[in-house]
Chains A and B, each alone.
Chain A
Amino acid sequence: MAASTLTVPQPEVPISLPPRGHVGMWCLIIAESAIFTIFVVAYLYYAGKSLSGPTPREVLEVPIFISICLFSSSFTIVMGEKAIHHGNIKLFTLWLFATIVLGAIFVAGSLREWYRLIYEHGVTISSSLFGTTFYSLVGLHLSHVIVGLTMLSLVLIFALLGFVKQEHAERMGVLALYWHFVDTVWVVVLSVVYFIAR
């Protein structure tokens, strides 16, 4: 056996492999970005082509407060990541809770806006082309926020039950990556829907 073993003159340089959770999440983000791109393109392409009113300019109000809430949640989750990285689970739970509250405010604010559009202005998904594209693009993003909130809430429950440890910091990083993606998409959706294609 020893005779047939390869002898290598120089020591082999060890290769470093990226963590698979992060790579998997980045792949998912690429795929999701492609989905959002198609919806954004459809929104831009159809802007102003609606044959019946009301127009976006007449009914849309820039959701400043809930957008600030969502963007701040990226900051709170970074603080949470720092806390779990240092093993401070209590602080982590607190920041996680703050993230969920901010995300929930965003969801509630969006739904309030939808309620106003539907009942005050009669804009529904089938009322006009604007309604179709608006609810599908904003709704696609909102559904991602809700998925993220569900996962964050699961982690919160696990944390409150005492299952979350310092060693889970990397996995938490994967989830945080998804949450940052959801926030980043809102930058695009916000600027497209409320500013560019108004």
Chain B
Amino acid sequence: MLDADSVSRPMFVPPGEAVTRPLFDRVHEWIVTVDHKKLGLMYVCYGLLFLVIGGVEATLMRIQLAVAHNHFVSPQTFNQLFTMHGTTMIFFAAMPIVFGFAVYLTPLMLGARDMAFPRLNAWGFWMSALGGIILYFSFLGGGGLYGAGSAPDVGWFAYAPLTSPAFSVGHSTDYWIIGIFISGFGSIATAVNIITTILCLRCPGMTLNRIPMLAWLNLVMATQVLLAVSPLTAAQVMLMIDRYLGGHFFDTQAGGSAVLWMHFFWIFGHPEVYVLVLPAFGILSEVIPVFSRKPIFGYSIMVVATLAIGFISMSVWAHHMFTVGMTSWANAFFVASTAAIAVPTGIKIFNWLGTMWGGKIIFKTAMLFCVGAVCQMLIAGLTGIMLSAAPFDWQLGNSYFVVAHFHYVILGVIVFAVFGAIYYWYPKVTGRLLSETLGRWHFWLFLIGFHLTFDFMHIPGILGMPRRIYTYEPGRGWDAWNLIVSFGVVFQAAAILIWVVNVFVSYYKGDIAGNDPWNAWTLEWSTTSPPPDYNFAEIPVVRSRRPLWDLKHPEDPDWKYE
């Protein structure tokens, strides 16, 4: 039974002794930890570090493309930059961040004391970390023994035959393969852990019909990791057999097929988008209700829509391959399945709007980011439907229109939701609130920069500018647009800088948060901030989807109506 006493009583005094212990002990404690909170935090910090690195790579590319005939970086360097940017952002920024939130929050939200397999949890994190280190070691060791190092330059989807030994001399591609291969093991391990935790470690009363939306979305996300990252692992094994053992999987001269690699990569690649966006949807489904002061609109339909997205997204991969030339039946199938995915996604958008409708909306920074993400999801979804039509895709495939579309999803929805999540859960993790003033500067500058860059990026794409070119001729009508696109980066960089300052300053000087600064409803807000070791002194018992509402409003609890 969850009672008011256990909520208000501090079960955990932040240990003063921790500050005085030697640095080695404190670092050692983090390295050997199996605590889901420490691991979740390390996942997120690791991802944010790579987010900054990938952001720097993007900035360098935008400087190069700001004006025509620029000589800021060489063509070779440009190829390495877009390869490293894509690989870093997907595998070593976005995935660790969403995993970090899942690992940190799932046990807390479900009223559990840790993940189902704590040691596997640590293993998963360190494998992911090792993968990132191996990828970046290519800058030093990529050239092998002969000559200086070089990063991989085969693009983040590494189409055959670029990756064959004949066209990829040296070890840069090997670092790419092994880095992703190893982090893939970490991802699969963590996905196993997330699913098992959600299915097996719920507190009494927490039926699947009552788990928080974030837990539902993480459950579907983890299932997709099992089904989508595994094929990538298999494809990387084939590539390794080709490169190291002289195999012929993707060797067209021996009867192999370059197109099969495309299929295998995108069987991973498209569900991967949903692996990243579903947790973002989960964050929106947690933050928007709290700041609208209403329970989520249509919980069951949200769950069904999530399952539908998870199901349909497994059969849309070849919409990345319309320009390859498939049969018209295959084209028709993938057009239909891709367009169909808009239906459950649209349901979600309407449910968030329904949650806000008639609510008492409080525009804290977390809510601002989430509302931004909902609006941008609409636009990203619309360009997605445009690109799902094969003839439209034949015209604009591989152009900057596509680049603008998927950055709208990844930056406009996922990164916005992640920032919202950081403003929302930072007080729980650190015990202090982030500054709202700096937060507002962060939000508005980032919003302006995002729209300057990615709204205007659609236009050179429509005008025919292909992706992955290191420079272009002046006078094609692309110049002004590219300058605006690059100019937006200034605002985004400033916003990120403000956010970094905010995170560090608020850690020491921020307002004390207390257990429940947002007057929220899920179980993580019932423990202290930061939560004590093993989270709950007494395992809570819940009766509804909003256990803390029941606690705060015993005269009108939710379980009477659910």
Instruction: Flag whether B500 is at the interface (Cβ < 8 A).
Output: no
Contacts of A30 in B (CB 8 A): 223, 226-227
B543/A1 in contact, CB under 8 A: no
Looking at the complex, which one of A38, A49, A125 makes contact with B241 (CB distance below 8 Å)?
A125
Instruction: With both chains docked as a complex, state the minimum distance between the C-beta of A58 and any C-beta of chain B, in angstroms.
Output: 17
| Interface contact B116-A24, CB-CB below 8 Å | yes
Q: Contact: A20 with B4, CB < 8 Å?
A: no
Contact of A42 with B260 at beta-carbon distance under 8 Å, contacts A6-B2, A12-B543, A17-B200 already known: yes
Tell me if B37 counts as interface (CB < 8 A to partner A).
Answer: no
A20 touches B260 (CB 8 A): no
A24 CA to B117 CA, complexed, in Å = 9
Q: Interface stretch among A73-81, A110-118, A128-136, A177-185?
A: A128-136
A132 near B204 (CB under 8 angstroms)? no
Tell me how far the C-beta of B241 lies from the nearest C-beta in chain A, rounded to whole angstroms. Answer: 6
Of B80-88, B245-253, B358-366, the one contacting chain A is B245-253
A23/B195 in contact, CB under 8 A: yes
* A31 contact from B192, B245, B559, Cβ within 8 A: B192
Q: A125 with B245: in contact, given A15-B206, A34-B231, A46-B256 (CB under 8 Å)?
A: yes
Smallest CB separation, B188 vs chain A (Å): 5
Enumerate chain B residues within 8 angstroms of A28, measured Cβ to Cβ: 188, 192
Shortest distance between the CB of B226 and any CB in chain A (Å) = 4
In contact, B554 and A4 (Cβ under 8 angstroms) = yes
Chain A residues near B237 (CB-CB < 8 A):
136, 140
Complex Cα distance, B249 from A89, in Å, reads 48
**A residues in contact with B245, CB < 8 Å:** 125-126
Q: Which 9 A-B pairs have the closest CB atoms?
A: A126-B246, A34-B230, A38-B234, A4-B4, A132-B247, A20-B200, A27-B192, A31-B226, A129-B255
Q: Given A4-B554, A15-B205, A17-B199, verify A51-B226 contact (CB < 8 Å).
A: no
* 20 intermolecular pairs with C-beta atoms under 8 Å apart: A1-B4, A4-B551, A6-B557, A12-B205, A15-B206, A15-B207, A19-B200, A20-B201, A24-B116, A24-B192, A27-B226, A31-B188, A34-B230, A35-B230, A42-B238, A45-B257, A46-B256, A126-B247, A132-B249, A133-B249
Shortest A146–chain B CB gap in Å is: 16
Q: How far apart sit A15 and B199, CA to CA, in the bound complex (Å)?
A: 11
Residues of A within 8 A of B192 (CB): 24, 27-28, 31
B264 within 8 A of A: yes
Instruction: Kindly identify which residue among A12, A17, A35 contacts B231, using a CB–CB cutoff of 8 Å.
Output: A35
Q: For window 1-59 of chain A, which residues contact chain B by CB distance below 8 Å?
A: 1, 4-6, 8, 12, 14-15, 17-20, 23-24, 27-28, 30-32, 34-39, 42, 45-46, 49-52
Residues of B within 8 A of A5 (CB): 1, 3-4
Set of chain A residues within 8 Å of B120, measured between Cβ atoms: 24
- B349 contacts partner chain A, Cβ-Cβ < 8 Å: no
- Whether B3 lies near A6 (C-beta < 8 A) is yes
A4 to B554, CA, bound (A): 8
- Please name all residues of chain A whose beta carbon is closer than 8 Å to the beta carbon of B229 when the two chains form the complex: 31
Contacts of A15 in B (CB 8 A): 202, 204-207
Give every chain A residue within 8 A of B202 (Cβ-Cβ).
15, 17
Determine whether the beta carbon of B230 is less than 8 Å from that of A32. yes
Please report the number of residue pairs spanning A and B whose Cβ atoms sit closer than 8 angstroms: 139
What separation, in Å, do the CA atoms of A38 and B227 have in the docked complex?
A: 11
Residues from chain B with a CB closer than 8 A to the CB of A51 are 254-255
Q: Report which residue of A12, A14, A37, A51 has the largest number of chain B beta carbons within 10 angstroms of its beta carbon.
A: A12
Most B-side CB within 10 Å, residue of A24, A36, A39, A140: A24
Q: Which of B453-489 contact A (CB under 8 A)?
A: none
Complex CA–CA separation, A133 to B247 (angstroms): 8
Question: Chain B interface: which size bin?
Answer: 35 or more
Bound complex: CA of A27 vs CA of B2, how far in Å?
32
Query: Helix, strand, loop or mixed for chain A's interface?
Result: helix
B235 at the interface (CB under 8 A from A): yes
Q: How far is the CB of A19 from chain B (nearest CB, A)?
A: 7
Note all chain B residues with C-beta closer than 8 A to A52: 254
Report chain A residues within 8 Å CB of B550. 6
Q: Are A132 and B248 in contact (CB under 8 A)?
A: yes
Q: A4-B554, A50-B255 are in contact. Are A20 and B196 (CB under 8 A)?
A: yes
Residues of B within 8 A of A6 (CB): 1-3, 543, 550-551, 554, 557
Task: Mark B169-187 against chain A: 1 for CB-CB distance below 8 A, else 0.
Answer: 0000000000000000000
Asked if B233 is at the interface of the complex by the 8 Å CB criterion, the answer is: yes
Specify which chain A residues have a CB less than 8 angstroms from the CB of B495 in the assembled complex.
Answer: none
Roughly how many angstroms separate A5 CA and B245 CA in the complex, as a whole number? 67
User: Which residue of chain A has its CB nearest to the CB of B259?
Assistant: A45
- Complexed CA–CA distance, A4 and B555 (Å): 11
Residues of chain A within 8 A (CB-CB) of B551 are 4, 6
- The reply to whether A125 and B254 contact each other, CB–CB distance below 8 Å, is no
Do B235 and A23 touch across chains, with their CB atoms under 8 A apart? no
Contacts of B1 in A (CB 8 A): 5-6
Contact B554 A35 (CB under 8 A): no
Q: Does B191 contact A (CB under 8 A)?
A: yes
- The reply to whether the CB of B541 lies closer than 8 angstroms to some CB of chain A is yes
Chain B residues near A126 (CB, 8 Å)? Answer: 245-248
- B25 on interface, CB distance cutoff 8 Å: no
Query: Inside 8 A of B4's CB, which chain A residues have their CB?
Result: 1, 4-5
- Residues on A with C-beta less than 8 A from B235 are 38
Residues of chain B lying within 8 A (CB to CB) of residue A20: 116-117, 196, 199-201
Residues on B with C-beta less than 8 A from A32 are 230
Q: Are B116 and A39 in contact (CB under 8 A)?
A: no
List B contacts of A12 (CB < 8 A): 204-205, 541, 543
Which B residues lie within 8 Å of A39 (CB)?
234, 238
B255, A49: Cβ atoms closer than 8 Å: yes
How long is the Cα–Cα vector from A49 to B250 in the complex, in angstroms?
12
| Cβ proximity bits B39-80 to A, threshold 8 Å, 1 near / 0 not | 000000000000000000000000000000000000000000
Question: Which B residues are in CB contact (< 8 Å) with A8?
Answer: 543, 559
- Give every chain B residue within 8 A of A49 (Cβ-Cβ): 255
Interface pair B196/A4, CB less than 8 Å apart: no
Q: Tell me, in angstroms, the Cα distance from A46 to B247 when the chains sit together.
A: 13
